[in-house]
Chain A
């Protein structure tokens, strides 16, 4: 996967109905606040990538992906509306950055996840092998 993953954090923006019920004025306000928040982070060199997502798509599951449904996705407040990939020194810093997002007051949640240095499956496999060795020792 990505080779320079140290100090990378994903912000996953959850909640896709938070802007319903806001007036045009409120929406304009939030949008310009978001733009300012984002532009500041870009200036600080914190943004590596980021995109909003269309509210549709597909869910693939089952062996060989034989089941394909149109959604619906997770319930609305869990639905992911977009993501940012940040460069930050620590999870704490990434959390502080997330706290500055203007949509939170309207009910979104932001999941902050460190990018893994290596595949979590490999890490788990090694742990399991170590545990097996301890048990059989």
Chain B
């Protein structure tokens, strides 16, 4: 009896220790980020792992808010925030609008090329971005050359690009969500005289709000985080926060403290939005990896 309780206690201690180790592994980089964001640039620059008195510390020697208050001083971070917000909100709006129609058709209509289309949508998720980047960049150059319409380094160019990136996942996630709404509801609306489009807007839309919010947030976050296409297609006027962060480190100067403060500011919108719709987005992502 005593032995069994002892084993139980030992088991619990080991279990607690394991959970603690996992959490420590996850959280240490965040603690380092937060701690760095409150240090002075001087403290970080003069740190040296070889000298015990200068070894980097977890607690700032001199606590400062400077890095947050002056986030825009060396890098035009506020401009990049504005660009990212415009591009991400634009992506969110178009992605939701376009995927809602496509998902409704996939969920409610019977048509011969449904399976082919779904497979095509799925397979676009498999190709790496670099497979498209060169010809896509050329397309931007040629549109400007022949049509006089600037695409590179414009908001609409980026919004179009990111909307198309967000669509495959948005369509499939929203289709799964619409599938969970009973068909009888919109069939009844159509018997009562609604067109399919009318039924979509009057009946399905209000019921699909959580799914729509999840798709919108996913699209926003995708546009906020994208790096590869932004390196080629954005310029001075449209640079996004993801690329702006890299400007804190130049060949001349490493402004780690400023970068850590900016990192926290860049993460906040993503973490807030994600936690709002956590359940739906995670269900969608897990389904995407397991069911398709």
Chains A and B come from one and the same complex: no
Q: Which A residues are within 8 Å of any B CB, using their own CB?
A: none
